[in-house]
Chains A and B, each alone.
Chain A
Amino acid sequence: MHSNGLFLKDVAGFLGSYYTGLAIMNAIAAFLIWRRKNRTGEAVFWASVATALMVLASLAMSGSATWVPHLPESLRKLVNTLSGPVNYTAGTTALFAGAFVFRKFFVKPMVAWTVFNAALLLMGLAMADENFASIVMKADNVPIVGLVFLLAFFTWVATKQAVENDERIARGLPPLEKENDEKVLVWPDLVYTELICMVAVSAFLLAWALLLPAPLEEPASSVKTPNPSKAPWYFLGLQEMLVYFDPWYAGVALPSMVIFGLMAMPYLDFNKKGNGYYSINERKFAYLTFQFGFLELWITLIILGTFLRGPNWNFFGPFEFWSPYKVEVLNNVDLPQMFWVNMLNRPLPRVAADAPWYAQMATILLREAPGLVIMAAYLFLLPPLLAVTVFRKYFAKMGLVRYLVMINLMLLMLSLPLKMVLRWTLNLKYLISIPEFSLNF
């Protein structure tokens, strides 16, 4: 969509207060660094950042296409062309991996503050784009923007304490949480905290409710299907999985396994360390598995499903207009097709419709043999193989049943990224496709 100039006027007030808010935030930070930490140089730097943000605020208020701070058109176009499910997934994976590997660097308050400011500034600049703003500022999407920042913040808070504890443990000291086992009376120490929390949450919720009207669209009509039709935002990760799997797996089996896996977690994690304090090194396997499932799969897919999936569930770059006429080539092929037709150059095994049932079954099994062999190897060969190699210690400690539950949950979780990669590299649609039983995988 090409801006007609009115859009910038509409958001001028919002962007102006946004930059002003950032400026105030940095001014307070500068003040605290100066008074509390006595680091004048840094304080001057953040004070000048605040001043620069005030300049941006006044420019944004102008509402004119030349003055409102924005990302150059060419950059936005580049981002749109570069973004797609593959680059998005690779990018977020690289981001998480980098944040994890260099966690000692990122937990430094000044580094985090710089990254936080950069993210907010980028967000402000992007918001001057009409297409970006129309998705991000959609009433029901606002909580997800909040979720992203909250998760980043709390992950930082947790990692900071974990890094500190891991360093202490490495030096033979107890974690910080164990250092101080002082007890205080609940009245006043806890009840007052609770009261303040309640007041703060109420104030926050009231402000949110007064500033942002709840969405209400046209009256329900069962004949007018909106495009795209989206589930509530917390289920959009599941809806995104529908790209790669059939509903029985993406919408029923995998979510049930997520719930079951969460419940099974305390019984599978036999590691006695890291109980009641932040630590990463003491429970690296559990930590990475959980973060992979939560941040990398659940959260990342929700963001993808909410902000980057438009009409017909096509992928759209963050600055792209959601055109319902965008066409994406669908040339996905089932594995039996690949194996029998493309590789062996012969037709799919077939049988007459009136053949006896065992002949029908045999034909299906033969036709789907490649997929069935791969699945059988994945689910039945891999667990024992891993038990004697990578997970030998785990197997010894967990015993057969617990090990099998864990390994199957992990393999099911990994089935999603594996299928994504197979789709992107081989255009694979289904490994197994048995329409006779509505069973596609």
Chain B
Amino acid sequence: MAIGETIRNSQIWKSIFRHPMPLDRRNRIVVMLTNFFLHLHPVSIKKQGIALSFTWCMGGVTFFLFLVETVTGVLLMFYYRPTLEWAYNDILALRDVTSLGVLRELHRWGAHAMVITTWLHMYRVFLTGSYKPPREFNWVIGVFLLLLTLLLSFTGYLLPWDQLAIWAITVGSNMARASPLLGYEGPGQQLLTIGGIDMITDGSDARFGLLGARFVGEETLNRFYVLHCIAIPLAVALLLAIHFWRVRKDGGISGPL
């Protein structure tokens, strides 16, 4: 006890935690206001709003899974090279050789789980009518986050570079080939010609933009890798910040108004 007391009274401890232990009511309030990680929360909250049967925790679980994906993803990046020569072999090594190869399982199942928890979170928000005013725009941000979650999962699907990966991405991205006007097999692309020269070909249409090539190849792998590891996570992080901020600003967590 005495040692604990000494540590908590030391200059180092006090410089890190800007408040005493949250043991009494006053300090339980102070801790929420003075700790960076806790200040996302309000100080007090509707008891009903955090009842498990009401909230299901799915938004929080989705955010936690995003953090799990970030951490395991960064670690996986140490082992994985997004080139035709190495991509598959590196995943093979993760399965058979690397000591912490289970990281890949954590990352993949975490990704599946994140898609599911996102849906369940939106399901709950719909069923409690929590998208209604004043939370309309936060729902819209949520839909963007749903889209980005699916894109994260989709871009990650290609990276193992096995048969499952490239054919799933081929099937998925073949849709872009049929975009109205912008896909070279899409309706109306015949209209976009200049002086009899087609503007939309298999080398310039929406699918080419997505894949960086006429078929799923090394350019696609590189493109999806960058999207998966940098571009989309950054966009998600920004939207998440706004999403959480708006929860606080638009009347706090769900509950009858």
- Which A positions have Cβ atoms within 8 angstroms of B? 140, 143, 146-147, 150-151, 154, 157-158, 161-162, 174-175, 177-178, 180-191, 193-194, 197-198, 201-202, 205-206, 208-210, 212-222, 224-226, 229-235, 238-239, 246-248, 250-253, 259, 262-263, 265-267, 269, 271-279, 283, 287, 290, 294, 434, 436-440
Are A208 and B109 in contact (CB-based, < 8 A)? yes
Are A215 and B132 in contact (CB-based, < 8 A)? no
Q: Complex Cα distance A212/B95, Å? A: 12
Are B88 and A219 in contact (CB-based, < 8 A)? yes
Q: Complex Cα distance A262/B144, Å? A: 10
Question: Shortest CB–CB separation between residue B156 and chain A, in angstroms?
Answer: 9
Question: Shortest CB–CB separation between residue B51 and chain A, in angstroms?
Answer: 9
Taken residue by residue from 43 to 86, chain B's Cβ proximity to chain A (1 for < 8 Å, 0 otherwise) reads as: 11111101011101100110011001000000000000000000
Are A278 and B127 in contact (CB-based, < 8 A)? yes
Give every chain A residue within 8 A of B177 (Cβ-Cβ): 247
Are B106 and A158 in contact (CB-based, < 8 A)? no
Are B132 and A275 in contact (CB-based, < 8 A)? yes
Could you list 7 examples of A-B contacts with CB < 8 Å? A185-B28, A214-B105, A222-B216, A234-B115, A251-B178, A252-B186, A276-B132
User: Main SS of the interface on chain B?
Assistant: helix
Give every chain A residue within 8 A of B106 (Cβ-Cβ): 205-206, 209
B142-162 interface (Cβ within 8 A of A): 143, 146-147, 150, 153-154, 157, 160-162
Are A220 and B163 in contact (CB-based, < 8 A)? yes
- Which B positions have Cβ atoms within 8 angstroms of A? 22, 25, 28-29, 31-32, 38, 41-48, 50, 52-54, 56-57, 60-61, 64-65, 68, 88, 91-92, 95, 102, 104-106, 108-110, 112-113, 115-116, 119-120, 123-124, 126-133, 135-136, 139-140, 143, 146-147, 150, 153-154, 157, 160-168, 170-172, 174-180, 183, 185-191, 215-217, 254-257
Q: Complex Cα distance A432/B150, Å? A: 32
With A154-B124, A189-B45, A252-B179 known, 10 other A-B pairs at CB within 8 A are A154-B56, A185-B43, A187-B31, A190-B41, A205-B68, A214-B104, A216-B164, A233-B112, A250-B175, A277-B256
Give every chain A residue within 8 A of B28 (Cβ-Cβ): 185, 187-188
Q: Complex Cα distance A387/B120, Å? A: 34
Q: Complex Cα distance A247/B186, Å? A: 8
Q: Complex Cα distance A313/B167, Å? A: 14
Given the interface contacts A209-B105, A438-B186, A439-B188, does A187 sit within 8 Å of B38 by beta carbon?
yes
Of chain B, the residue at the smallest CB distance from A184 is B47
Given the interface contacts A220-B162, A229-B167, A263-B140, does A235 sit within 8 Å of B128 by beta carbon?
no
Are A177 and B162 in contact (CB-based, < 8 A)? no
Give every chain A residue within 8 A of B56 (Cβ-Cβ): 154, 157
Give every chain B residue within 8 A of A202 (Cβ-Cβ): 68
Of chain A, the residue at the smallest CB distance from B216 is A222
Given the interface contacts A217-B162, A247-B174, does A259 sit within 8 Å of B95 by beta carbon?
no
Are B171 and A205 in contact (CB-based, < 8 A)? no
Give every chain B residue within 8 A of A434 (Cβ-Cβ): 187
Given the interface contacts A143-B112, A221-B163, does A251 sit within 8 Å of B48 by beta carbon?
no
Give every chain B residue within 8 A of A174 (Cβ-Cβ): 256
Q: Complex Cα distance A191/B189, Å? A: 55
Give the 7 A-B residue pairs with the shortest CB-CB distance, closest first: A251-B175, A247-B178, A209-B105, A266-B136, A439-B187, A143-B112, A276-B256
Give every chain A residue within 8 A of B91 (Cβ-Cβ): 216
Give every chain B residue within 8 A of A269 (Cβ-Cβ): 131-132
Are B123 and A154 in contact (CB-based, < 8 A)? yes
Give every chain A residue within 8 A of B217 (Cβ-Cβ): 222
Q: Complex Cα distance A202/B69, Å? A: 12
Give every chain B residue within 8 A of A191 (Cβ-Cβ): 38, 41
Task: Among A147, A174, A184, A231, find the residue whose CB has the most chain B CB atoms closer than 10 A.
Answer: A231
Give every chain A residue within 8 A of B29 (Cβ-Cβ): 185
Question: Shortest CB–CB separation between residue A234 and chain B, in angstroms?
Answer: 5
Task: Among A206, A266, A272, find the residue whose CB has the most chain B CB atoms closer than 10 A.
Answer: A266
Given the interface contacts A150-B116, A220-B161, A438-B189, does A275 sit within 8 Å of B256 by beta carbon?
yes
Are B257 and A275 in contact (CB-based, < 8 A)? yes
Are B57 and A197 in contact (CB-based, < 8 A)? yes
Q: Complex Cα distance A226/B139, Å? A: 39
Q: Complex Cα distance A269/B127, Å? A: 13
Are B129 and A274 in contact (CB-based, < 8 A)? yes
Q: Complex Cα distance A192/B132, Å? A: 29
Of chain A, the residue at the smallest CB distance from B187 is A439
Question: Shortest CB–CB separation between residue B121 and chain A, in angstroms?
Answer: 10
Question: Shortest CB–CB separation between residue B22 and chain A, in angstroms?
Answer: 5
Give every chain B residue within 8 A of A140 (Cβ-Cβ): 112, 164
Of chain B, the residue at the smallest CB distance from A162 is B127
Given the interface contacts A252-B179, A439-B187, does A220 sit within 8 Å of B165 by beta carbon?
yes
Q: Complex Cα distance A224/B170, Å? A: 13
Question: Shortest CB–CB separation between residue B122 and chain A, in angstroms?
Answer: 8
Given the interface contacts A150-B120, A247-B177, does A229 sit within 8 Å of B48 by beta carbon?
no
Q: Complex Cα distance A251/B170, Å? A: 13
Are B113 and A205 in contact (CB-based, < 8 A)? yes
Are B61 and A201 in contact (CB-based, < 8 A)? yes
